[in-house]
Structure 1
Amino acid sequence: MTGEPLLRITNLRKAYGDKVVLHDVQLTVRQHDVVCLIGASGSGKSTLLRCIDLLEPVDDGEIHLGGVEITDPLVDVRSVRSRMGMVFQAYNLFPHMTVLENVTLAPRKVHGLSAADAEDRARTLLARFGLADKADEHPDRLSGGQQQRVAMVRAIVMEPELVLLDEVTSALDPELVGEVLDIVRDLAERGTTLLLATHEMGFAREVATNVCFLHEGVILEQGPPAQVLGDPREERTRQFLRRVL
């Protein structure tokens, strides 16, 4: 493929005090890619996503989004975040707002959409994801799977260039995991560029264009899912997969 990658990370380093969480991370994500980050808890997956969304400052290295260095100290953080959607494992919905209010807040306040346009977008997506009848409910009236689906609608309502998903099924009961993964699969099939941390190896094998195995803050191995999950080169990757498959 040619052209500038959508996301390019070079020599990224992140530490908390003396503890290095990410070390010399190199990653390229092109438009319409679905890149799955796998690895044990504490390997750096969530921190990497938070660095990309500028929720954590980096100590060294660069992150480029669409050719723009977003780790430049002078960058407009709000503008950068408006180009991405992020979904957390804990939903992070505003409990005092209805589903519709949660989904339309950023389109109105950040993107300047009229209330009517924001509501039209929101209701269309809520209907697509089986939540049309939940628009006026508050999050505490929803199941975990429904809350996570609302969080995903909120992340994609403005059609961001890149969607970041941080272990979006890990807080769910097993029977709810499938309904959330179905939405991720739907986004992938529609060409959404996705970067997700996940423990769902079957899903990664089926949907990912690339899989990255993180170990102690380093991307130790990356490549197509058939290679990384089916015939890994690194012994650490093989050890991890033996534990989770």
Structure 2
Amino acid sequence: MTPVLACRRVRKVFGGRVVLRDLDLEVAEHEVVALIGASGSGKSTLLRCVNLLETVDDGTIALDGRDITDPRIDADKVRQRVGLVFQSFNLFPHLTVLDNVTLAPRRVHRIGRAEARRRAMELLDRVGLAEHADQYPDRLSGGQQQRAAIARTLVNNPRLLLLDEVTSALDPELVGEVLALIRQLADDGTTMLIATHEMAFARGVADRVCFLDGGVVVEQGPPRQVLDAPEHPRTQRFLSRVTGSWTG
């Protein structure tokens, strides 16, 4: 079966520094893959390349078997199918939550105002924000803003959802509500590629964990295998530093 996402020997260089080094990765339909690794390991860069916010220097990225790194591809159409939620919420501060969520359906997809509102309210109810639809982002908590950002991405019904350290900008007490929403999306069968520093979350929600180091996938497998019994010394050292729970 053709994977939803297939990265083949993807290479990305910034200023002479190789950030992604001939990276290979696949994500199957309804699969949740968690990317773990130290800062600078290439997690965020990979997500930005998949969303075509960065151009790869070599290799290919395919969505449902179609090469989206072809320079003739319409990047905006790809982004309609590949949603990316950032660390910072990136909501428009001058728009209400409802207007933030309906903006793309109305302006990009040319959906009527009433239908866009209906879809948006369904999603806001799903993420627990229906009663805040008419609020402006600065009136919401960080956790609520991140849930609104996720709703804004989901309203386009993306084929693949990319999440880039979506809890890193939150106060610790707000992390749980966002993670609970992502668990719900996973249970609903949403195909996701998630960069995270939350090891407990990766263990609880991911079907597969990939450890990135030096721009390559060093080790991957079920969460229990990678997080509890890593085979590669680099994975062992990383987990020992991050969690202190793996000592070899």
Q: Please say whether Structure 1 and Structure 2 have the same fold, judged by a TM-score greater than 0.5.
A: yes
Match of 1:22 among 13, 20, 41: 20
Matched length: 243
TM-score normalised according to structure 1 size: 0.98
Query: How far apart are the structure 1 equivalents of 2:85 and 2:106?
Result: 19
Secondary structure in structure 2 of the residue aligned to 1:82? helix
**1:239 equivalent in alignment to 2:223:** no
Query: How far apart are the structure 2 equivalents of 1:75 and 1:205?
Result: 36
**1:42 equivalent in alignment to 2:30:** no
Percent identical across equivalent pairs?
Answer: 63
Deviation sequence 1:182-204 (CA, Å, 0-9, x none): 01000000000010000111111
Greater shift, 57-66 or 125-134, is seen at 125-134
Q: CA deviation at 1:243?
A: 1.6
Q: Which residue of 2 is the match for residue 127 of structure 1? A: 125
Aligned partner letter, 1:151? A
Q: Which residue of 2 is the match for residue 167 of structure 1? A: 165
Are 1:131 and 1:146, in contact at CA under 8 Å, matched by a contact in 2?
Answer: yes
> 1:178-217 maps to which residues of 2 (within 5 A)?
178-217=176-215
Q: Which residue of 2 is the match for residue 87 of structure 1? A: 85
Greater shift, 104-113 or 165-174, is seen at 104-113
Match of 1:153 among 147, 151, 154: 151
Aligned partner letter, 1:16? F
Q: CA deviation at 1:206?
A: 1.3
Query: How far apart are the structure 2 equivalents of 1:144 and 1:91?
Result: 8
Q: CA deviation at 1:158?
A: 2.1
Q: CA deviation at 1:213?
A: 0.4
Query: How far apart are the structure 1 equivalents of 2:12 and 2:114?
Result: 42
Greater shift, 152-161 or 170-179, is seen at 152-161
Are 1:82 and 1:111, in contact at CA under 8 Å, matched by a contact in 2?
Answer: no
Match of 1:10 among 5, 8, 11: 8
Q: CA deviation at 1:223?
A: 1.1
Query: How far apart are the structure 1 equivalents of 2:110 and 2:220?
Result: 39
Deviation sequence 1:116-173 (CA, Å, 0-9, x none): 1111011111112111111111111111001000000001112211000000000000
Q: CA deviation at 1:35?
A: 0.2
**1:33 equivalent in alignment to 2:31:** yes
Q: Which residue of 1 is the match for residue 246 of structure 2? A: none
Match of 2:109 among 111, 118, 124: 111
Greater shift, 226-235 or 45-54, is seen at 226-235
Greater shift, 153-162 or 168-177, is seen at 153-162
Aligned partner letter, 1:208? A
Query: How far apart are the structure 2 equivalents of 1:215 and 1:140?
Result: 37
TM-score normalised according to structure 2 size: 0.96
Query: How far apart are the structure 1 equivalents of 2:146 and 2:60?
Result: 31
Give 4+ residue runs of structure 1 displaced > 4 Å after superposition.
Answer: none
Let me know the Cα RMSD of the aligned residues. Answer: 0.7
Aligned partner letter, 1:193? T
For structure 1, list consecutive stretches of 5 or more residues without a partner in the other structure.
none
Q: CA deviation at 1:112?
A: 2.0
Aligned partner letter, 1:124? E
